[in-house]
Amino acid sequence: MLRSALLLLSLAVLPQQETVRSYGDMANGDGLSYTADGQFKMPEKYREWIFLSSGLDMSYSPKTSMAGHSMFDNVFVNPSSYRVFQQTGTWPDKTTLVLEQRGAQGASSINKNGHTQSPEIMALEVHVKDAKLEGGWGFYEFDGSPTAKIVKRPASCYQCHESHAAVDTTFVQFYPTLLALAKSKGTLSPAYLKDISTPTQ
């Protein structure tokens, strides 16, 4: 009885977010890490990473209306993986891509037309290449906490990315500095090549 009470106590004082596995150049913010229970830790320095693109009010169905919810998304990738992509046209293991959503603001300060991005972050999602995971990639959705559990398969995330993304389940067709590179290296996915060869109604 006493022993189990002591065990409970020692578990309670263990640091909650203990890191057990880290990869890459963590000292320079270009790596990734998991907690003891396999959660992914939000990379703190992703804002210093390589910027791939901003999408505005992207929608995957012609009928979807974004009325009242105009939103930007910004995509970043860790710098060492970007450099590998430039050599090979695809991503190395442990590539981490971050999608950050911000509200599109109207007139403010001297801006009278068009849109700027809100200081608040509306959503943070991460896509990680890890050979240990089923399918080789995992998605994580952050809800304000510094760690997140993997989005379990089956999920729409995997389904859409695997059946429409241009390179290795990532949406390189929308990342202007990468698309031509992938084309020249011959790394475009069969799914994407099929999409662009099928005329849309």
Footprint of ligand HEC (CB under 6 A): 53, 55, 58, 60, 73, 75, 97, 99, 125-127, 139, 141, 151, 156-157, 160-161, 170-171, 174
Q: How far is the CB of 145 from ligand HEC (least distance, A)?
A: 15
CB of 110 to ligand HEC, least distance (A): 27
Q: Which residue, 61 or 201, has its beta carbon nearer to ligand HEC?
A: 61
Q: Which residues are CB-neighbours of 8 under 8 A, at least 6 positions away?
A: none
User: Residue 161 CB, nearest distance to ligand HEC (Å)?
Assistant: 6
Long-range contacts of 182-189 (CB under 8 A, 24+ apart): 182/89, 182/90, 184/89, 185/88, 185/89, 185/90, 186/89, 187/88, 187/89, 187/90, 189/165
Q: Which is nearer to ligand HEC, 33 or 161 (CB)?
A: 161
Nearer to ligand HEC, 4 or 65 (CB): 65
Nearer to ligand HEC, 61 or 113 (CB): 61
CA 45 to chain centre: 14
Q: What whole-number distance in Å separates Cα of residue 201 and Cα of residue 186? A: 28
**Least distance to ligand HEC, CB of residue 149, Å:** 12
Largest CA distance in the chain: 71
